[in-house]
Amino acid sequence: MADEIAPEYDVVVLGTGLTECILSGVLSVKGKKVLHIDRNDHYGGEASSINLEALFKKYGNYAKGTEPWKQYGRMNDWNIDLVPKFLMSSGELTNILVSTDVTRYLEFKQVAGSYVQQGDGPKATVAKVPSDAAEALRSPLMGLFEKRRMKSFIEWVGQFDVKDSATHKGLDMSTCTMREVYDKFGLEAGTKDFAGHAMALYQTDAYLDIKGGAPEAVERLKLYGNSVARYGKSPYIYPLYGLGELPQGFARLSAIYGGTYMLNTSVDELVFEDGKAVGIKATMTGIEPEMKFETRAKTILGDPSYFPDKVTVVGHVLRAICILKHPLANTNDSDSCQIIIPQSQVGRKNDIYVACVSSAHNVCPKGYWIAIVSTIAETSANHHLELAPGIERLGRIEEQFMGPPIPLYEPITDGTKDNIFISKSYDPSSHFETTTDDVRDIYSRIAGEELKVEGLREGIQVAAE
Amino acid sequence: MADSGNAPKPSSSVKLVLLGEAAVGKSSLVLRFVNNDFQENKEPTIGAAFLTQKCNLPTRTIKFEIWDTAGQERFASLAPMYYRNAQAALVVYDLTKPTSLIKAKHWVAELQRQASPGIVISLVGNKLDLTNDGAGDGGGEEGAAEDSGDARKVTTEEAKTYAEDEGLLFFETSAKTGYNVTEVFTAIANSIPETSLKTARGPNASHAPSRTEEQRVNLNGPRDSGAKDSCAC
């Protein structure tokens, strides 16, 4: 078996999270010889979807000798995401899926609704985020006059072009802050809140006062609007059987283009020459006898867990995975939805997100919903209190899984010196746009050129297809 | 057999997965079925991972979406996605290599564990052209019988008995000569229960997609039209 491993690869990839699998897929399509390794027996790493038994065992929240998962139907019917995210239907991940034809292996469904909370405690209301000017006029989130102001703001966003100063309302976009733009339209604090957090999807208010930050904020509002416009109900889509399908799809793409895949394989040692990583020593287990091998690599990339000395913690995410037997209240009995609780509504600095999917997405048996509440940790203890405003939205909870704060890692160096390129942890944002930013960033550092997504597979289609 | 061109028959897509040890001829069988072609000393599978081929039955058309392992079986790293919703599987072994039948039995067990309960599995012993049985059927040009170089190491009896015990379809084929290849696919097409086919039959069903179907989204939009429409069986 070991003789099937080449003495050298262009790229050795460690960890099969989404970032790594997209990079493997793209690099394989570009003709690179890729060896892709994961220490786990399954694909996805931190971004996998696991069944309920595995989830109980991961969190250990059950009495020894009992099997609480037995009351929840067939374990194969459960695909519970560890990282809650949706795809923006007009976002970059969608573009990459289409241009690589990975869409052939996946089926997507719309997320039924995108909601935002106004107010706190018993007075809190949850309402649909208006996606276009017409919805703005019907929205209970605003009073009569504010609705009109919001309508003209949304219309302006739709025709904004950063290159065309005639669309800039007389504001200087090179220095203008988003706060100034909101003020130009006379928008109230509550409206700014849901526009910035539930539509532009900023997780804090820092964006409001960035000089020259207005164009980016407007682009984010546009992405939201375009994504809603694509399929109608919400800006989000979600793959059947859970997010864990995404890395599998890209791994398959890589394999089709010659990528070699090894699960159950741990890295024993990174081999260095003159300060540069040039290969790995690894062991594949789960087979008899276990197989030790060594191979060289021109480039090594991977997720932070494979390079503990080369990453730093930049924050902590709090996350509670909850199993419900009902849809979320005030979401029109949606089979899926997102609720954003903007930070200022509940006296926080970071938003709280609630992401909910159900049997409609083949992630659980009929009659169940999976809701994940998450936010960035702001305190060093009592983390459950930080998530409380989100948990309150869920009603009766059958099972709840919440561990210690999850560290967010970033690489210390950019890899150009030591030849090791490390991805970032999945941030708490509700979508994959930052993940694809990371993919692009790593790709340009490795390849020395920008990743062109359009037409990625054109011209290199093999004859058999 | 060409398409008769009469009133359109109901057509359904069926996901078929290939399994088997490396170099038993998985891709060659599909290449023979889809393109009626054979390549000697074909490289291990690269690039061909999703082929489609229609199979016309008297009352309906089955469009096979054939998934190749793309080599991910080599280090036991096939993703669950591979088995997901597969309605048919071709488990291939090499008639001249007994270990490949052992491996095939392993894959059958894996399918029974991971795949949908109603999956139709066909056990296929390939490389019949390397045996004495293969000479006549293959048109004689191989001349395998002349030097009595019968390389068969797995008897028909042994594999057939196993297939019957497990409720599998069973064929011996030669991707090289084409012997029995379309028969495998036709037999699979005939064995797929009509109730498990995706496309609902009848005027009402086709015009009233269920609530869940309606929410599925097609990311490719009009781009998605590359399916092959030729007919091989």
- Residue A463 has a pLDDT of 32
**What is the number of CB-based contacts under 8 A between chain A and chain B?**
95
DSSP label at B176?
Answer: T
- Residue B215 has a pLDDT of 62
Instruction: State the CB neighbour count (10 A cutoff) for residue A417.
Output: 9
pLDDT in tens, A226-255: 999 988 889 999 999 999 999 999 999 999
Q: By CA distance, what is B210's nearest residue in A?
A: A360
- Closest to B75 (Cβ–Cβ): which among A94, A231, A261? A261
- Residue B39 has a pLDDT of 77
Residues of B in contact with A249 (CB under 8 A): 81
pLDDT in tens, A425-442: 999 889 999 999 999 999
Q: Report whether pLDDT(A192) > 80.
A: yes
What Cα–Cα distance (Å) separates residue A377 from each residue in A208, A317, B30? 21, 6, 53
- Tokens standing for A315? 């924050």
Interchain pair A261, B226: CB under 8 A: no
- Half-sphere exposure of A154 toward its Cβ, with a 13 Å CA cutoff? 22
In the block, which residue shows the tokens 């379309």? Answer: B182
- Tokens standing for A237? 């889509």
Question: How much is the average pLDDT of A71-76?
Answer: 92
- Residue B206 has a pLDDT of 35
| Residues in contact with A164: Cβ distance below 8 Å, sequence separation at least 6, in sequence order | none
- Residue B225 has a pLDDT of 36
Q: By CA distance, what is B68's nearest residue in A?
A: A256
In the block, which residue shows the tokens 């609720």? Answer: A339
The H or E element that residue A105 is part of is none
Residues of B in contact with A454 (CB under 8 A): none
Question: How much is the average pLDDT of A135-141?
Answer: 89
| Residues in contact with A155: Cβ distance below 8 Å, sequence separation at least 6, in sequence order | A133
Question: How much is the average pLDDT of A325-344?
Answer: 95
What Cα–Cα distance (Å) separates residue A3 from each residue in A95, A388, B74, B132? 38, 54, 12, 33
Interchain pair B75, A249: CB under 8 A: no
Interchain pair A252, B72: CB under 8 A: yes
Q: What are phi and psi of A327, to 5 degrees?
A: -75, 165
Interchain pair A98, B223: CB under 8 A: yes
Question: How much is the average pLDDT of A17-38?
Answer: 96
Strands A80-81, A276-284: pairing is unpaired
Q: Where are the beta strands (DSSP E) in A120-172?
A: 125-128
Instruction: State the CB neighbour count (10 A cutoff) for residue A345.
Output: 21
**Distance (Å) from the alpha carbon of A388 to chain B's nearest alpha carbon:** 32
Q: Is B141 left (phi over 0), alpha (psi -120 to 50) or beta?
A: alpha
Interchain pair A237, B35: CB under 8 A: no
Question: How much is the average pLDDT of A115-143?
Answer: 89
Comparing CA positions, the residue from B153, B177, B189 lying closest to residue B12 is: B189
Query: Helix or strand or coil: residue A13?
Result: strand
Contact A265, A12 (CB under 8 A): no
- Tokens standing for A152? 């003209």
Higher pLDDT, B113 or A85: A85
User: pLDDT band for position A271 (50/70/90)?
Assistant: very high
In the block, which residue shows the tokens 């091998």? Answer: A293
Q: What is the pLDDT along chain B (233 residues), one digit of tens a residue?
A: 445 556 678 888 999 999 999 889 998 999 899 888 787 766 655 555 568 889 999 888 999 999 988 888 888 888 989 988 899 999 999 999 999 999 999 999 999 988 888 899 999 999 999 998 764 444 444 444 445 578 999 999 999 999 999 999 999 999 999 999 999 999 999 999 887 776 433 333 333 344 444 567 888 764 333 333 434 44
Q: Where are the alpha helices (DSSP H) in B22-137?
A: 26-35, 80-83, 98-114, 132-137
In the block, which residue shows the tokens 């296929």? Answer: B124
In the block, which residue shows the tokens 């998605």? Answer: B224
Query: Helix or strand or coil: residue A271?
Result: strand
Interchain pair B48, A249: CB under 8 A: no
**Distance (Å) from the alpha carbon of B215 to chain A's nearest alpha carbon:** 6
Interchain pair A108, B35: CB under 8 A: no
Question: How much is the average pLDDT of A214-232?
Answer: 93
Please spell the DSSP secondary structure of A330-373, one letter per residue. Answer: TSTT-SSEEEEE-GGGGT-SS-EEEEEEEGGGTSS-TT-EEEEE
- Residue B49 has a pLDDT of 56
Burial letters for B120-145: b for 16+ Cβ neighbours within 10 Å, e otherwise?
Answer: bbbbbbbbbbbbebbbebbeeebebe
Whether residue A251 lies within 8 A of chain B, CB to CB, comes out as yes
How far apart CA B25 and CA B23 sit, in angstroms, is 5
Residues of B in contact with A432 (CB under 8 A): none
Q: What are phi and psi of A378, to 5 degrees?
A: -115, -10
Q: Report whether pLDDT(A267) > 90.
A: yes
Comparing CA positions, the residue from B28, B170, B199 lying closest to residue B105 is: B170
Q: Is A422 left (phi over 0), alpha (psi -120 to 50) or beta?
A: beta
Query: Helix or strand or coil: residue A100?
Result: coil
- Residue B223 has a pLDDT of 36
Cα angle A377, A379, A382; round to 5 = 95
Residues of B in contact with A97 (CB under 8 A): 219
Calculate the dihedral angle through the C-alpha atoms of A240, A242, A248, A250, rounding to the nearest 10 degrees. 70
Interface test with B, best of A94, A253, A256 (most B CBs within 10 A): A256
Q: Where are the beta strands (DSSP E) in A93-228?
A: 108-110, 113-118, 125-128
Q: By CA distance, what is B220's nearest residue in A?
A: A98
- Residue B152 has a pLDDT of 94
How far apart CA A51 and CA B41 sit, in angstroms, is 42
Instruction: For each of the domains in chain A, give its residue range(s) and CATH number, in order of start.
Output: 8-47+244-311+410-447 (3.50.50.60), 58-112+312-407 (3.30.519.10), 132-231 (1.10.405.10)
How far apart CA A332 and CA A330 sit, in angstroms, is 6
- Tokens standing for B63? 């469009």
What one-letter code names the amino acid at A156? W
- Residue B144 has a pLDDT of 42
Q: ipTM beyond 0.85?
A: no
Interface test with B, best of A18, A261, A359, A457 (most B CBs within 10 A): A261
Strands A291-302, A276-284: pairing is antiparallel
Cα angle A333, A335, A337; round to 5 = 90
Interchain pair B70, A262: CB under 8 A: no
pLDDT in tens, A373-401: 999 999 998 899 999 999 999 999 999 99
What Cα–Cα distance (Å) separates residue A325 from each residue in A205, A239, A261, A337, A401? 35, 21, 38, 15, 16
Interchain pair B216, A98: CB under 8 A: no
**pTM of structure:** 0.89
How far apart CA B48 and CA B36 sit, in angstroms, is 15
Q: Which of A173-187, A294-308, B46-60 has the least mean pLDDT?
A: B46-60
Q: Please, is A296 exposed, middle or buried when counting C-beta atoms within 10 Å of its C-beta (0-12, 13-18, 19+)? A: middle
Question: How much is the average pLDDT of A210-229?
Answer: 94
Please spell the DSSP secondary structure of A215-247, one letter per residue. Answer: HHHHHHHHHHHHHHHHHSS-SEEEETT-TTHHH
User: pLDDT band for position A68 (50/70/90)?
Assistant: very high
- Residue A233 has a pLDDT of 85
